[in-house]
Amino acid sequence: MRWLILLTVTSGALTTLSLAEACAQVDYKAGVAKAIITPEPGLWLAGYAGRNKPAEGKANDLYAKVLALEDSQGTRLVLVTLDVIGLPRELSEEMYQDIRHKTHLPRAAVVFACSHTHCSPVIYGNLSDMYPLPPDQPEKLKKYREFLRQTVVRLVSDALADLKPAHLSYGEGMARFAINRRQHTERGVIIGQNPQGPVDHSVPVLRVASPDGKLRAIAFGYACHNTTLDFYQYCGDYAGFAQDYLEEKYPGAVALFWTGCGGDANPHPRRSLELAQKHGRELADAVAATLSQNLTPLRGHFRAAYSTISLPLDKLPSIEELQAQALSKTYAEQARAKRLLKQLETQGKLDDHYPHYPVQVWRLGDDLRWIMLGGEVLVDYALRFKKDYGPQRTWVMGYANDVMAYIPSVRVLKEGGYEADSSMIYYGFPAKWSPLIEDLIVREVHALMKQLDKD
């Protein structure tokens, strides 16, 4: 399925103006909305399989935020950011269908971006084999899921109703606390520290200001896991603190965080509230420094495209292998094996593809390309697309629309390790990805970009 917004620039109005002057006169509008999504204590926290009790309080609030943009031709784009671990496809599609019913926006115009904080509630339907939930948790988590759906749909409507004239500009800063976590040892690749490994330290920033120059919104990204913390409190981790600091520094502005291709990056150092605050301050300072520079104004109209593609899995396990795994002492491995054995019994086969991997691209004006990919995308994808399209005008988002698994490159699949192999247990897949997935994803991004550039 493919959705596409195409915009054309006519030449009749350019008889007395240069192209740059004409584009500079394009009018934009922007609207913002936000809401606290922190639940009461007592929900199971997402992200770590080793947790053994629900949340006991909060370190700071979790938020859902929306930035709506409109160009002079009336084309609208909506960025939804959420301080949650990730959305399953079913929930993001439910949200979108409700949004479409209220706003008539095409699928390409709406992106759901997750911060991937590991101190947010479990989202029911995501990582379902990972958690040994007590009997009271599923019903509580279903209610939170419904609350989240209703809140996001309402915020999108509120942001669209808030559309006002705006100046849009962009730039890029730098933060250094992310480190590649794929440490190579004699026992193979482990989650540790790899200072020589690839990492993306860039901090892309979109500035949204009213015509009088007052800052209304800041959308910014960083490619790093939100895993500074592993305690039993709700918290946005470094990204949450960065947003808090920016909104304190710029009263009245809404700060929205999105995660880049940080599937193989961790904050360094980590494991304390003070470090989460420190990393958040570093990231906020990088954004503030970027805002103080001469940013590049957006010029031109919006274009967007969305599609889903089927990604193949590698060799599937035998029934004997699954029966052995069903006796595992590791809860996630046991739960997955039992579920897959039941699938074999009822359907006669295991799924060998993931059929709905989301690929989304936006063109913000004439220059800025924004690529949005589902899953926990590894840094090789960002580096590849920045090389293809130019590092200063290409942003690459992970954790978008559907967080179904890690998305490793061919290099990482060959090396092995958590992101390539064992993480698939927690996400419930019967096997690791086929090495074909990188080319399939890259090919689809290129195809969508080509359509936008051509039309």
Does the pLDDT of residue 357 top 70, yes or no? yes
Q: What is the mean pLDDT of residues 73-88?
A: 98
- Asked if 352 and 316 count as a contact pair (C-beta separation under 8 A), the reply is yes
Please tell me the distance from the alpha carbon of residue 404 to that of residue 360, in angstroms, as a whole number: 16
Q: What is the mean pLDDT of residues 266-290?
A: 98
Q: What is the mean pLDDT of residues 94-115?
A: 98
Q: Residue 402 has which token pair? A: 């559907």
Q: What is the mean pLDDT of residues 361-366?
A: 96
Per-residue confidence band for 15, with pLDDT thresholds at 50, 70 and 90: very low
Please tell me the distance from the alpha carbon of residue 306 to that of residue 50, in angstroms, as a whole number: 36
Q: Where are the domains of the chain?
A: 2-6+21-307+355-421+435-454, 317-347
Mean pLDDT, all residues of the chain: 94
Report the interhelical angle of 379-389 vs 437-454 (nearest 10°).
30
Q: What is the mean pLDDT of residues 212-234?
A: 97
Q: Residue 89 has which token pair? A: 């496809």
Q: What is the mean pLDDT of residues 54-80?
A: 98
CB neighbours of residue 186 within 10 Å: 4
The residue assigned the tokens 């009271």 is 136
pLDDT of res. 6: 44
pLDDT of res. 453: 86
Rounded to whole angstroms, what are the CA distances from 58 to 85, 231, 278, 359? 16, 10, 18, 34
Answering whether pTM is above 0.85, one says: yes
Please tell me the distance from the alpha carbon of residue 229 to that of residue 221, in angstroms, as a whole number: 19
**φ and ψ of 316, to 5 deg:** -80, 150
Classify strands 202-209 and 353-364 as parallel, antiparallel or unpaired. Answer: unpaired
Q: What's the pLDDT tens digit per position in 175-209? A: 999 999 999 999 999 999 999 999 999 999 999 99
Single-letter amino acid code for the residue at 128 = S
pLDDT of res. 7: 40
Within 13 Å, how many C-alpha atoms sit on residue 45's CB side?
29
Q: What is the mean pLDDT of residues 42-71?
A: 97
pLDDT of res. 454: 79
Q: What is the mean pLDDT of residues 128-152?
A: 96
Please tell me the distance from the alpha carbon of residue 361 to that of residue 269, in angstroms, as a whole number: 33
Does the pLDDT of residue 16 top 90, yes or no? no
Q: What is the mean pLDDT of residues 75-103?
A: 98
Q: What's the pLDDT tens digit per position in 419-443? A: 999 999 999 999 999 999 999 999 9
Q: What is the mean pLDDT of residues 365-378?
A: 97
Q: Residue 31 has which token pair? A: 């609207």
**Residue scoring higher pLDDT (2 or 280):** 280
Rounded to whole angstroms, what are the CA distances from 232 to 86, 267, 278, 296? 18, 19, 20, 42
The residue assigned the tokens 């917004």 is 5
Q: What's the pLDDT tens digit per position in 379-420? A: 999 999 999 999 989 999 999 999 999 999 999 999 999 999
Rounded to whole angstroms, what are the CA distances from 227 to 141, 253, 264, 378? 22, 26, 12, 15
pLDDT of res. 250: 98
- How far from the centroid of its chain's Cα atoms is residue 24's Cα? 31
pLDDT of res. 21: 33
pLDDT of res. 3: 53
pLDDT of res. 455: 64
- Asked if 90 and 112 count as a contact pair (C-beta separation under 8 A), the reply is no
Q: What is the mean pLDDT of residues 99-105?
A: 98
Q: What is the mean pLDDT of residues 15-41?
A: 71
Does the pLDDT of residue 23 top 80, yes or no? no
